[in-house]
Structure 1
Amino acid sequence: MITRWFDLHAGALRVDAQNALQMNSFSRIFSDEAIAAADSAAFTLTIREGEPESAPDGATLIYAGPVFDEGDCRFTSHDGTQYLQFPDRVTLILAADKRHASITVAPGCEISAGQSVAMLVLHAAANATGQFLLHSAGVTMPGSDDLVVIFGQSGSGKTTTTLALCDAGFGLCSDDVMVFRVDADGVTAWGLPRNLKVHRKTAEMLDWVAPRLSGDWSDEDERRLLQADIADRIRIEPTGRRPVAGLFKLERSGRTESDVLALAATETLAALAADNMRIGKTGLVEGEIRQFSLLAAITRTLPTFRLCAGSDLSTIAPAVETAIAEDRQRRDVKAN
């Protein structure tokens, strides 16, 4: 067996796999940033080759149907244990203790251990350390360690906006997944240090990006953008938890200039919940009520904005910086 440890910045994830190919999905997610063995694991995953298991008879069906680009699956629950099955390819079992998971992958189907299977493991591991995943991008403010978090549905332009902000002096943490924690110290987050997937339109809008792309165009009209290939142009932040300065809901304005408007906490919560909560045939999936309460906590705590991104990408950064500065000024006046 191969054992690797990954830092969750509130505990460690231990992954045991029979071979390097099985380990690849998690190495890619963390951009191969393994850590030295920890004293203990907050969450443990075991990956082995074999015939994928089926859920026990009588398991409650949560979802059955297609997953984009991955095929049909079944997601079920039995006595607190959850089963995600892609028939004849892979089965993920999330143990009822919320601290362990196992993946059984059929020979030649190692790639199936990635994508939805891997993300469910990360959701569980984050929950085991008192954290939660948010579909969002995160960048640090110029000259500061504070985070600006940008969220929006897939296709709203998070990667384009993230790269435009970083080219203007912000620091890159993640363009797609941030891991949040809410505690007595406030709201902090860190980004999964993954390489980026860039759409053809993004490459056309940012001329410095195209020469740095790797691989062929995918069926979704995307190519890889390795962090190592943009480190000469933008600041890549080391992975670690940082305070969050504000949440920005990304929208396309249809105008040239970008603008930032105040956004009600209730509207922010509704948008975050729609994009980050799972609903099955029987209602909310187990654990999603906790997710909703945490989403509510960050919308109560953090300033929330609507980022109306214009076609002139150079106007995004000044609009974001002005919004944060004005919010801080208002808070200082109120505090005094």
Structure 2
Amino acid sequence: MSTASEPGAPALGAFLAQYDIGGHLLALEAQTAALLQPLDLFLAPLRVEPDRTPDFRLLLRHGPHPAVQAGDVPLFAGPLLTEGEFEGFRRSEGLLLRGPDVSALIEPARRRAVIVTAPGAEFRTASSAGLIALEMVVDAFGQALVHAAGLTLPDRDALVLLHAPSGTGKTTTALALAGAGFGLCADDAIVLRDGEAGISAWGLPRFVKIHRRTAALLPWLAPALGPVWDAGGEQAVPLAALSRHARIEDRRPRAVAALFMVTRGEGPTQVHAQPRVDALAALAADNVRGGIAGLEAHQARRWALLARLVSATPVFELRVGPDVGEIAARVREALAL
């Protein structure tokens, strides 16, 4: 529980929620329900009843942005996605992110972060500032959040990972596999961890963004879809809505059996061995961010974990053609299932 005497802490009586992040406890502490709701909606499947002191505290509040201090090192300045102009600064091994209506001060050594939003911009707690904070929380637990999909194999409790830049068909590929007997863990956000038994992974809960084209290719999705599509022709569908026709997995870490780099092709769907150096370059380009002061410590750790993943795991190129119904068969052949 926070106390009023802590700098930047919410007042007593804050709204609280706690989550299991791969065996570690994250606490969200917010001044208002509106501040808590966006991140809580994102993390809801991981929510647990608190039974001990949290390992990391993420404080959500209104008020002035944290000030830049004399020792802060500039990292970047410029537009962040569609959210306006941001400045980033290194503070020790932490990060200060300042934008027009949201800021984040993330201090892993103190096991805490503070996200400040302007009144009326509470949804920003789950936008880039909140997701960057979550990346660094996961890193503080010795894990790495990466842009990939994960599915369990039909006959054993191990994962295949799918990687592709946004818009390349990763979600369509993941859903095609889910409709053919693979278990869906996540279509976009995977947490990697390295232990004595090797690399394992679990899926961070997110709504699946299903495009009209994907729905047309995979008719089994129809019962989970509503009549309204957004301006990009997509619907955000909770994983639970897909459970009538696909196996939705829990959040337990599982061994990684293979990594598939998804590309698009005009001919039939094919699988080929992928050079590991090419796979690592593609993963790093999509998941590791640098700045004008070089690679930050948590980004360097993410790079190292990706390198261990690629070196220890069979790597394939999955070139997906128009025949999406053949994706599962080609993956099975590659893994000799």
Judge same fold: TM > 0.5, yes or no. Answer: yes
For these two proteins, the number of residue pairs brought into alignment is 324
Match of 1:62 among 75, 78, 83: 75
Q: Alpha-carbon deviation of 1:220?
A: 2.9
Identity %: 36
Q: In the alignment, residue 201 of structure 1 is paired with which amino acid? A: R
Q: Alpha-carbon deviation of 1:98?
A: 5.7
Single out whichever of 32-41 and 136-145 deviates more from structure 2.
Answer: 32-41
Residue 79 (str. 1) matches residue 107 (str. 2)? no
Give the corresponding residue for 1:298.
Answer: 309
- Where does 1:1-336 land on structure 2 (aligned, <5 Å)? 1-57=14-70, 59-87=72-100, 89-95=101-107, 97=109, 99-214=111-226, 216-255=228-267, 257-325=268-336
Q: Alpha-carbon deviation of 1:49?
A: 1.6
SS at match of 2:297: coil
Kept after mapping to 2: 8 A contact 1:138/1:150: yes
Kept after mapping to 1: 8 A contact 2:57/2:111: yes
- What CA RMSD, in Å, does the superposition of the two structures yield over aligned residues? 1.7
Query: CA 1:209–1:96 in 2, change beyond 3 Å: closer, same or farther?
Result: closer
Q: In the alignment, residue 107 of structure 2 is paired with which amino acid? A: A
Kept after mapping to 1: 8 A contact 2:115/2:130: no
Q: In the alignment, residue 323 of structure 2 is paired with which amino acid? A: D
Kept after mapping to 1: 8 A contact 2:108/2:140: no
Query: CA 1:31–1:320 in 2, change beyond 3 Å: closer, same or farther?
Result: farther
Single out whichever of 116-125 and 205-214 deviates more from structure 2.
Answer: 205-214
CA offsets 1:154-192 (integer angstroms, 9 cap, x no match) = 111111011110000111100000000111111110001
In structure 1, C-alpha distance between the alignment counterparts of 2:218 and 2:170, rounded to whole Å: 14
SS at match of 2:336: helix
Q: Alpha-carbon deviation of 1:80?
A: 3.5
Q: Alpha-carbon deviation of 1:120?
A: 1.1
Single out whichever of 36-45 and 274-283 deviates more from structure 2.
Answer: 36-45
Q: Alpha-carbon deviation of 1:237?
A: 0.8
Kept after mapping to 1: 8 A contact 2:16/2:27: yes
Kept after mapping to 1: 8 A contact 2:136/2:298: no
Q: In the alignment, residue 180 of structure 2 is paired with which amino acid? A: A
Kept after mapping to 2: 8 A contact 1:54/1:85: no
Q: In the alignment, residue 326 of structure 2 is paired with which amino acid? A: T
CA offsets 1:287-327 (integer angstroms, 9 cap, x no match) = 2222211111111111111111121111100111111127x
SS at match of 2:131: helix
Kept after mapping to 2: 8 A contact 1:148/1:247: yes
Q: In the alignment, residue 191 of structure 1 is paired with which amino acid? A: G
In structure 1, C-alpha distance between the alignment counterparts of 2:42 and 2:193, rounded to whole Å: 19
Query: CA 1:50–1:320 in 2, change beyond 3 Å: closer, same or farther?
Result: same
Q: Alpha-carbon deviation of 1:253?
A: 1.7
Give the corresponding residue for 2:11.
Answer: none
Single out whichever of 307-316 and 15-24 deviates more from structure 2.
Answer: 15-24
**TM-score for both structures, normalised by structure 1:** 0.91
Q: In the alignment, residue 61 of structure 1 is paired with which amino acid? A: P
Q: In the alignment, residue 122 of structure 2 is paired with which amino acid? A: E
In structure 2, C-alpha distance between the alignment counterparts of 1:154 and 1:234, rounded to whole Å: 23
Query: CA 1:286–1:114 in 2, change beyond 3 Å: closer, same or farther?
Result: same
Query: CA 1:175–1:262 in 2, change beyond 3 Å: closer, same or farther?
Result: same
In structure 1, C-alpha distance between the alignment counterparts of 2:236 and 2:279, rounded to whole Å: 30
**TM-score for both structures, normalised by structure 2:** 0.91
SS at match of 1:30: helix
Single out whichever of 303-312 and 287-296 deviates more from structure 2.
Answer: 287-296
Query: CA 1:95–1:309 in 2, change beyond 3 Å: closer, same or farther?
Result: same
Query: CA 1:219–1:281 in 2, change beyond 3 Å: closer, same or farther?
Result: farther
In structure 1, C-alpha distance between the alignment counterparts of 2:333 and 2:34, rounded to whole Å: 47
Gaps of 5+ in 1: 327-336
In structure 1, C-alpha distance between the alignment counterparts of 2:197 and 2:108, rounded to whole Å: 30
Gaps of 5+ in 2: 1-13
In structure 2, C-alpha distance between the alignment counterparts of 1:189 and 1:46, rounded to whole Å: 27
